[in-house]
Amino acid sequence: MVSMKNFPNPAPVGHVTVCEVDGKLQTMTIENANFSIFSNTVASYPTIVVNRDLLRPSVTSHEDINAVFLPVREGLVKKILNVWYEHGLLEALNLMADQNDPNIHPTVRYAASSMLKLSDIIIRLRNRFHPRLTESGTNLIAAVSQTRDWSRSPVRCLAWHPHCTKLAVAVRDDSVHIYTAGSKHKPFLKYKNQKNISSLAWRPLSASELAVGCEAGVYVWHIDPNSVVTRLSANCATFLERPNHSPITSVAWSLQGDVLVTASAADTVMYAWDLAMESYSAIRKTHGGGVSFIAWSPEKVFSATTGVVFRVWETNTWTSEQWTLPFGHVKTACWSPCGSVLLFATSHETVIYSLSFTRAVTVFLADAEKASRTAIPVADVTPSETDTTGDRIGGLPVSIAWDGRGQYVAVLFKESRHIAVFKSKLKPVFQLTPCCFISGISDELPNAICFQNNYEEGALLTIAWSTGRIQYFPFINSSAGTKDAMNVTHFSGHLDSTSFHSPTIHSLSTFRNASFASF
C-alpha cells in the first residue's frame, strides 16, 4: 500500500506545476508559467476565470421580490393555495392552523393542527434513525459535496462532456456556463428556481443535454449547439422533482444516456428517470440514510448514503450488494473506466479503499462468498509535512477522479493545498503508485477536480482553484500523438507497495423490483 511518504516533494515555493510530459513533471516560476512552451494540445481551450461579475448574488427571498410591488388583498382560499404552491404543504397547514386569523373556521384550524402534530411525530421518528436528514438544504449539500468548501467556492461543479471538448462550469451565483474548445459562443443556464447547484452530468450520446442537480430538483437543459442565443430560457429545460426528494446531491446518466439516476441526501429513495418515455422508477432502500452520491459504471451503479452503508447495484436486475463501514460514511468514490474496480474513501479515515468486480464473480459467486468479500486498502493518505517546505500533504479525501484510460487517479484533500496524483495499473493486479503533486499559485486552494475523458494525447485533469481560476493540467504521452513535447528535469521517486490489514467491510445481497410510473 502506497503512502504520502512515497511521493516526490511538491514544487518549491514560487513555482507551479504546469504539466507532465512522458512521465516528467514540468514546473515553472509563477511569473513565467506558460504551458504552451511544452505543448499546444490545449491551445484552443478557453481561458476561464470566475471573476466577481459572475459571483453577484441572485435574489433569494420572496420578500425581496415582493418589495417591488404594491400589496394585494387575497381571499383566504387563494392565499392558502398560493402558499401551498410556493412553499409546500406544511407551510399551508401552518397558515390554516394560525390562531390569530379570525377568517379561519375552528374546524379547519383543528384539522390543520392535528395534521401538523402527526407530521411532527413522523419527522421526529425519521430523524431519530437518520440524523443527517435534519440538516437544511445548503448545509446538507455542503456536508456531502465533493467540492471542497462548497459554500464559499467560486466554482461549485465541473463536468466535461464524454464525447466532445465541452466543459460545464457551475458557479456560486447559481448559473452554469458552457465552454467549447475553439468557439467564442458561451451560453449560460440560469433560472430563478435553479439555486444551490450540487452536481452536473452531460447526457452520453447527445451533444446538447445537461442535467443540473440543485436544491429544488433536477433541470435537464437542452442546449442547441447551432443556436446563437447566449442565455437560454426556461423553455429549454425539463424539471424533474418528487416529493421529499430534495435537495438533489448527485445525478448520473447511464452510459447509453437512456436513464438518469438522481439522489438526495435527505431521501432514502433514488429515482431512475426515462425522459424519452416520460416515466420514473423509485429505487427503494430504507436502511442506511439518505443517498448522498451515485456513480454509474458500464454495468453497475454505486450509491453512498449518509450512514455507514453503501451499495453497488446490478442495473440489469436492479439487485444490490450492501457493505457496512465500521464508522463514518463514504465521502467520495469513482469507477475505473472498465467498471472492474471501485475506489472510495470515507469521511473519517485517511485511507483509499478498492473493491474489484468482474462479470464472472458477479454471476457465479455464491451468496456466502459475496458476504465474505472485503474492501482492500490501496493508499494510506495520512497527512504529513514535506521535508523542503513543511507543507501539509494528504489528509481526508474530498474527491477522487479517474481518467478515461485508467492511467491516473487524482485525489483532492480537505485541508491540503496540493492534489495528489497516482498512476494506476488494472492488470494483472490492480495497483496504485505515486506520481506527483499538483500545486497552485501562492495561497490558492483546489476546490474541484475532474478529468476530460476524450483527451487523445493522454489525460487532462481540470482543476477549479479558490481564486476562480480553471487550470488544465495535461499528462502527455508523446507516443500517443503529441510531437511537440520538450524534456525537462523531473522529480524522481517510486517505492513498492506494502501490505496493510483491512478493517472489515461486509458485503450482503439485497433485492428490489423496479416498476415505472409516468411523471
Which of 301-310, 431-440, 494-503 has the least mean pLDDT?
A: 494-503
Q: Give me the residues paired with residue 26 across strands.
A: 19
Would you say 173 and 197 are in contact if contact means Cβ atoms under 8 Å apart? no
pLDDT for res 488: 30
C-alpha to C-alpha distance for 472 and 41, rounded to whole angstroms:
10
Q: pLDDT tens for residues 255-295?
A: 999 999 999 999 999 999 999 888 899 998 877 889 999 99
Q: Is the confidence at residue 126, as pLDDT, over 50?
A: yes
Q: pLDDT tens for residues 74-104?
A: 677 887 787 776 666 777 888 788 777 777 8
- State the amino acid at position 352 in one-letter form: I
Q: pLDDT tens for residues 46-60?
A: 999 997 655 554 444
Burial of residue 313 (number of CB atoms within 10 Å: 0-12, 13-18, 19+): buried
Dump the DSSP string for 29-75: ETTT--GGGT--TTTTSPP-B--GGGGPPPP--HHHHHTTS------
- Separation in Å, CA 444 to CA 264, 419, 439: 31, 12, 8
With the CA atoms of 254, 346, 464 and 416 taken in that order, what torsion angle do they form, in degrees rounded to the nearest 10?
Answer: -160
Q: Is the pTM of this model over 0.75?
A: yes
Closest by CA to 449, choosing from 476, 472, 430, is 472
C-alpha to C-alpha distance for 452 and 160, rounded to whole angstroms:
6
C-alpha to C-alpha distance for 458 and 474, rounded to whole angstroms:
7
Higher-scoring residue by pLDDT: 388, 496: 388
- Separation in Å, CA 232 to CA 48, 170, 200, 385, 463: 20, 15, 17, 48, 26
476 alpha-carbon distance from chain centroid: 26
Q: pLDDT tens for residues 142-181?
A: 999 999 999 999 999 999 999 999 999 999 999 999 999 9
Q: Which three cell numbers stand for residue 130?
A: 437518520
Three-state SS sequence of 142-183: HHHCCCCCCCCCCEEEEEECCCCCEEEEEECCCCEEEEECCC
Start-end of CATH 2.130.10.10 domains in the chain = 2-58+140-518
At how many degrees (to 10) do helices 89-96 and 76-87 cross? 150
Looking at the domain 2-58+140-518, which fold is it? Methylamine Dehydrogenase; Chain H (2.130.10)
Higher-scoring residue by pLDDT: 95, 310: 310
Which single residue is written with the C-alpha cell 467549447?
180
